[in-house]
A and B are shown apart, each in its own frame.
Chain A
Amino acid sequence: MATAEEHKSSGIGKDVVVYLCILALAGLQFVIAYQSIDGSQMFVRMLIVAVLEAGLALLFFMHLSENRGLLWFVVIFTGFVLLAMQYGWTDSFRMSGGVPWAK
């Protein structure tokens, strides 16, 4: 049977691996910032990396991987709120293009 000390050290080992993964992903964001690509591509790539980082933090640092019910509650509820906020993007593109009223 594993002792409490063994459990503690194996848990910390997993935490350190996740921590290193998050650091590596954060570093990747900085690399993307210096790529010669257009702004929208850069935005999409950085956002994907940020979502991966947040996913790791949610699953392992905040232990959502250990509670499937709470995981779905948080993901569905938050996802709905975040998606609802995207409703106004078309307006920002219209303002940026100045069409049709700004001409």
Chain B
Amino acid sequence: MSHADTMGGHAGLMEKPTFSVPAKKMAMWLFIIADTATFAGCLVAYGFIRNATPAWPRPFHSIANVALMTFILVTSSLTMLIGVRAARTGDKSRALRWTFITAAAGILFALLHIREWLALINEGMTLFQNPWGTGLFGAAFFSITGLHLTHVTGGVIALIVVGIRYKGGRYNADDLEILGLYWHFVDMVWMFVVPLVYLLNLSH
């Protein structure tokens, strides 16, 4: 008698999960797809506005800060991977150490971002006006980078909370891996924000 026969009417309950992915991980993937649409909506709307506005402001003189922020965020993806791999091999202290290093990189990124915002605000840029041209620039810049910064901040909080609970035994390597997916997504979004919002608006 086959296994399916013995299960009778409950055979459906024993089916493999969708794409062989655990439910929690699948939920994160669905969130990532939805969030991709959110960011894409913002970036496409920004593209429409920028394309339709003559003499779009180009206020960025230096790439040093944004280059450093990019380096930190991409590196934090690597540290997250190292943490997850350590968790998979059962090395709890190493996993925890790299998870907190990732969180620290996220905090550093956020601080650099805030410093940059403050510099722009000091130059007279607000949500609705700036000294360089159309006020739409400030709205687009602060909305897109603000949405990304919110994701980074949320990610840092999640890294700390999940890290602490992983240490206490409430969460396991799977939970760290799922959080890692989110962190890599935040990194991936930045790869599109940098060229569209910063590099295309460099003053040459």
- A residues sitting closer than 8 Å to B (CB atoms) are 4-5, 7-8, 11-12, 15-16, 19, 22-23, 26, 29-30, 32-34, 39, 42-43, 46-47, 49-50, 53-54, 57-58, 61-62, 67, 69-70, 73-74, 77-78, 81-82, 85-86, 88-89, 91-93, 95-96
Contact = CB atoms under 8 A, between A and B. Distances in A.
A69 B21 CA distance: 10
Nearest to A97: B52
A4 B89 contact: yes
B19 A49 contact: no
Given A19-B78, A92-B48, A29 B33 contact: no
20 contacts: A15-B81, A19-B74, A19-B78, A22-B77, A29-B195, A32-B199, A34-B202, A43-B196, A54-B188, A57-B77, A57-B184, A62-B185, A70-B21, A73-B19, A81-B33, A81-B37, A82-B37, A86-B44, A93-B52, A95-B52
Contacts of A23: 71, 74
A96 B54 contact: yes
Contacts of B184: 57, 61-62
B78 A16 contact: yes
Contact of A57 (B33, B48, B187, B195): B187
- Range of interface residues on chain B? 35 or more
Given A19-B74, A47-B195, A74 B33 contact: yes
Determine which residue in B78, B82, B86 has the highest number of CB atoms from chain A within 10 A of its CB, and name it: B78
Contacts of A62: 181, 184-185
Contacts of A42: 200
A23 B70 CA distance: 9
B67 A85 contact: no
Given A19-B74, A43-B195, 17 more contacts: A5-B89, A15-B78, A19-B77, A23-B74, A26-B194, A30-B63, A33-B202, A54-B188, A57-B184, A61-B184, A70-B29, A73-B19, A74-B29, A77-B33, A78-B36, A85-B40, A92-B47
